[in-house]
Amino acid sequence: MRAAILFIPFVYLVSAEFGADFNHWITKTYGEGAKRRLERRDLPGGSFGGKSSGNESTTVRNEPVVFVHGVSSRAGEMMQQAANYFKKNGYGDGELYATTYGNGGNADKTSWMKYHMQCSSVKQVRTMIVAAHKYTGRKVDLIAFSLGVPIARKAVLGGRCVDTHQNLGKPLTHVVDTFVGVAGPNHGVAPVIGNLPVPGCALLPFMPICNPKDGLFSGVCPITSEFLTDINGRHKYEGAHVYTIGSNSDEIVGSSVCGQITTRIPHQNGEKRYGKLRHNQVIFHPDRPIRTHFQVFRSSYEVLLRMVHDHRVV
């Protein structure tokens, strides 16, 4: 499917890893194995966050933010760029966190189709949320993009994984203050091909990313994958404040799937909606009239900041 190529983000990879103090704390608290899984030193830009030294100020002025990347991406790419914007606006290293789930793309242009919302990815994000919360002693804010949105929602929801049936535990709702989902396929995908929305996953259910268990299967209304049915079966568990950002022109996840705006989360508190932003453009070139799936994120740094810091949509 031609639209599939568009899942690959155009990014500038930067060096990223945990601060030494946070690294030591994770090892002491969860063990060396957990530290390796979270830090992902096997990948350039596999993680970031935490204080570098115990001598740094112990005061956490802002609620820590956990960033969750999208498909075929890494913590040190788009999420690091967003974190840098937060740094320019008063946030410190001890208040900004991210890990990498999956293979990070591995320079494989077809890797996007091999992704699915497997339990291991959900556990990775869930552990990062809990670690940031316990390390700082504060509630956390979550900012998730693209496929990271449903994965992060399940990480907070907990319960049984649809693929492995492992019980993740109780919801983490009490730990999360603000949840922001950007260009997320919460109800499936209907990528735009030749200006027409196509129920891609209904046509290609054999691809891992579209599979009917832990994929984005949708388009055969009202049936969706077990994973999507699970995360949409309960409401208001994502956090105390829930917001979304989306575009009517998102060429990857589309806009409407079976009569529902797919980027919206049921019973959300507010939304920023762009008329002509494609999936990537929301973040790349906010001054340009047409924006893509990835630009939806890159154009929204200030919107994200105000949502998590002030609980308002600008």
DSSP string for residues in 240-276? SEEEEEEETT-TTT-SEETTEETT--TT-SEEEEESS
CATH class of the structural domain 8-310 = alpha beta
- What digits encode the pLDDT tens for the residues 243-272? 999 998 888 898 889 889 999 999 999 999
In this structure, the number of other CB atoms found within 10 A of the CB of residue 22 comes to 26
Q: Is the pLDDT of residue 172 over 90?
A: yes
- Find out whether the peptide bond into 222 is cis, omega within 30 degrees of 0: yes
Q: Rg of the Cα trace of the chain?
A: 18
Gap between the Cα atoms of 132 and 26, Å rounded? 10
Give 12-60 pLDDT, tens digit per residue.
Answer: 444 468 999 999 999 999 999 999 999 999 999 999 999 987 665 557 8
Give the DSSP letter of residue 280. Answer: B
- Report residue 243 as tokens: 């917001």
Q: 141, 178 in Cβ contact below 8 A? A: yes
Taking the model in full, what pTM does it have? 0.89
3-state DSSP call for residue 176? strand
Angstrom distance (rounded) from CA 187 to CA 4: 18
User: In the chain, pLDDT over 70 holds for what percent of residues?
Assistant: 85
